[in-house]
Amino acid sequence: MSAVKVGIGPGSICTTRIVTGVGVPQITAVSDAVEALEGTGIPVIADGGIRFSGDIAKAIAAGAAAVMVGSMLAGTEESPGEIELYQGRSYKSYRGMGSLGAMSKGSSDRYFQSDNAADKLVPEGIEGRVAYKGRLKEIIHQQMGGLRSCMGLTGCGTIDTLRTKAEFVRISGAGIQESHVHDVTITKESPNYRMGS
C-alpha cells in the first residue's frame, strides 16, 4: 500500500455523512489513521475539509503527509468550468464526485452504484458554485505562506517536526468566534480569508 487517503464527508460539497450516517470530524479521522498506521511507513493523506491554510497546518500537525483540496481551488482560472456572473459577482461551477451530475457521467462506481439512471442513483454530494478566485498560483502562494507562518509560530523548522512536535488544544465555540474576524465590517477582502469560505 502506497498511502491511505482519509476523509469521509468533510468536503464543502459532500453530503456523505448526512446521507449515510458515517464519518467523523476530519482532524479526528487523520489523527486516528496516523496512530493506527504508526510504524508501518504508510503515509496518510487528509482528503477534504481544507478551507484555510490553517487547516493544512492542522492536518499536517495531526500527522498527515499531504492534503487534498477541492473547493479551495475550484474557483481558480485553471479549474474546469466557465466563469459565470451572478448578482454582479463572478463564480465558477463546482460539483462533487458524489453529485448526480458526476455520478451520471461515470463516478457512480466509486460509490458502489452500477445503475447510471439518474432516478436510481443515490448522491452523496451536490453541485454548486464558488466565488471566482483568480490564478491558481496566487492561492498556492497564500496557502504556503500560512503554513510557513504556522511553522514559525510553533517553532517547527520542517514539516516532519510539525507532524511530531505540534500540540492540539480544544477550544470552545467562543474561541472559534474569537479566531475569526469579528466586531468589524470587512471593507476589503483578504486574499487568504473569506467569510463563509
Residue with cell 479526528: 28
Active site residue ranges: 14, 110
Backbone angles phi, psi at 153, to 5 degrees: -65, -25
